[in-house]
Amino acid sequence: MERVVGIESRGFILGAAVAERLGAGFIPIRKPGKLPAGAIRESYALEYGTDALEIHLDAIKKGERVLIVDDVLATGGTAAAAAKLVSDLEGDLVGLVFLIELTFLSGRAKLPGRAVHSVLQY
């Protein structure tokens, strides 16, 4: 694993710890306008509107193996947007890992064909 992506903001805590343990680089995915350099953006639907995430343009090199880490998988919109950003930068997304999965919200359905793991399911 070359890179671990953490989604703002609790994903930073978990993702940084996982990256350190794996000896991988850590990459933050943030809300719009918070990254200091050039970034790409992916918008996604929420139950009550839309939101977006950004990643630095140079965060991932083509073919780098990437793991996405976040605290909760709920409806899957945030995770799907993060996965799209990794794909747009031509990273090799090996999987998505969550501390908690709210199974009744069917978030996995927005991540077809992706390796998804959660520690706790409710």
CA-CA distance, 121 to 118, in Å (whole number)?
A: 7
pLDDT band for 48, please (50, 70, 90 cuts): confident
Please report, for the domain that includes residue 103, its CATH number. Answer: 3.40.50.2020
**pLDDT single digits (tens) 16-45:** 999 999 999 999 999 999 999 999 999 998
Q: Is position 10 annotated as part of the catalytic site?
A: yes
Of 10, 41, 65, 114, the catalytic one is: 10
Look up residue 47 and give its DSSP letter.
T
**47 is annotated as an active-site residue:** yes
pTM for the whole structure: 0.96
Task: Give the domain extent around 94.
Answer: 3-121
Q: Residue 89 in contact with residue 55, Cβ under 8 Å?
A: yes
User: 40: buried, middle or exposed (CB in 10 Å: 19+, 13-18, 0-12)?
Assistant: middle
Active-site residue, selected from the candidate residues 2, 8, 47, 54: 47
